[in-house]
C-alpha cells in the first residue's frame, strides 16, 4: 500500500509538472502581441501626422486666376514657367523661354535651367519640402507651386512640369495646370506617387518682397544668395530685407 501511495504521489507530481510547462510560451506570445500592438500604434501615429497637418488647412482652395499655357512639348516646362512668371507680373510667353531654357537640346537639364531662368527675371526660387502638406500650405496662402511629376501609364511615361493651383481635402484631390489640361484633377495618393517618381521636386517662384507661408529663414536667405550670384543683386537685397536681419 505504501508503494501504491508513493506511485500515486509521484503521478500527481508528474501531472503538476506537465501542467506548468505551457506557461512560458504563453508569456512569450503575450510579449509578442504587446510588441505588435505597440508597433501598430506607432505606425498609426506616423500615418496620422500628415493627415493632421492637412486638417489645419482650408477645406478647398483654387487659385483660378493663375494663367495657363497649353502644350506637352519639352515636358511642358516653358508653359509652366511662363504661367508662373506671368502670375508674378512678367510679360512672357512659352516661346520666349525656349531659347533661355536651351530647348530642345537641354531637355535633360530642365530642373536647373528652369531655376536659372526664373532668377534672370529677378525671382526668388524657393525649394519646398517633399511632402504634400508643404505644397498645400503654400497653395492655401495663394502661392502656386511649380513642380515636376511623372505622367503616363505602365506602357509609357515622361516627366511633366506643372503648376499646383488647388486642392480639395474632402475629396482628397489636387488641381494642376499640366500639359493640355487647364484643370487636371488627381487623387492625393496618385499625385504623391507620380511626384515622388520625379524626385518630389517643387519650388515657389516668388518676387523678392513676397515671403512664402511659414517661411524657413535660412532657406529663403540661401535662395536670395543664389539670386545675387545670378547677377540680381538689387532683388537679392530686397529678398534679404523682406525676411529681416
Lowest mean pLDDT among 4-18, 20-34, 209-223: 4-18
CB atoms within 10 A of CB 182: 15
Domains and CATH numbers, the chain: 55-244 (3.90.70.10)
Mean pLDDT on 194-222: 97
Burial of 15 (0-12, 13-18, 19+ CB in 10 A): exposed
| Cα gap 161→9, rounded to integer Å | 85
Q: How confident is the model at residue 21 (pLDDT cuts 50, 70, 90)?
A: very low
Which whole-number Å values give the CA distances from 136 to 39, 163, 188, in the listed order? 29, 12, 11
**Residue 115 CB-density burial (10 A; 0-12 exposed, 13-18 middle, 19+ buried):** buried
Task: State residue 35's pLDDT score.
Answer: 52
Task: Work out the pLDDT band at 153, boundaries 50, 70, 90.
Answer: confident
Q: Please give the grid coordinates belonging to residue 46.
A: 506616423
CB 177: neighbour CB atoms within 10 A? 27
pTM higher than the cut 0.85: no
According to DSSP, the residues that pair with 206 across neighbouring strands are: 124
Q: Which residue has the cell 482650408?
A: 58
Amino acid at each position: 500500500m505504501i508503494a501504491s501511495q508513493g506511485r500515486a504521489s509521484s503521478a500527481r507530481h508528474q501531472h503538476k509538472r506537465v501542467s506548468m510547462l505551457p506557461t512560458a510560451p504563453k508569456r512569450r506570445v503575450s510579449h509578442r502581441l504587446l510588441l505588435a500592438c505597440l508597433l501598430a500604434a506607432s505606425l498609426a501615429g506616423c500615418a496620422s501626422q500628415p493627415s493632421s497637418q492637412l486638417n489645419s488647412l482650408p477645406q478647398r482652395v483654387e487659385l483660378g486666376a493663375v494663367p495657363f499655357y497649353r502644350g506637352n512639348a519639352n515636358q511642358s516646362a516653358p508653359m509652366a514657367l511662363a504661367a508662373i512668371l506671368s502670375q508674378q507680373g512678367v510679360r512672357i510667353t512659352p516661346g520666349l523661354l525656349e531659347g533661355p531654357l536651351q530647348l530642345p537640346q537641354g531637355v535633360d537639364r530642365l530642373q536647373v535651367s528652369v531655376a536659372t531662368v526664373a532668377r534672370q527675371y529677378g525671382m526668388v526660387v524657393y525649394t519646398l519640402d517633399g511632402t504634400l502638406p508643404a505644397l498645400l500650405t503654400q497653395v492655401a496662402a495663394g502661392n502656386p507651386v511649380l513642380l515636376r511629376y511623372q505622367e503616363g501609364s505602365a506602357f509609357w511615361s515622361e516627366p511633366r512640369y506643372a503648376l499646383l493651383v488647388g486642392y480639395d481635402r474632402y475629396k482628397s484631390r489636387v488641381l494642376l495646370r499640366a500639359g493640355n489640361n487647364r484643370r487636371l484633377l488627381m487623387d492625393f495618393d496618385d499625385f504623391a506617387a507620380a511626384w515622388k517618381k520625379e524626385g518630389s521636386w517643387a519650388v515657389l517662384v516668388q518676387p523678392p518682397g513676397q515671403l512664402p507661408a511659414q517661411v524657413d529663414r535660412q532657406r529663403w536667405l540661401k535662395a536670395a544668395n543664389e539670386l545675387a550670384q545670378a547677377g540680381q543683386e538689387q532683388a537679392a537685397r530686397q529678398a534679404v530685407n523682406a525676411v529681416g536681419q
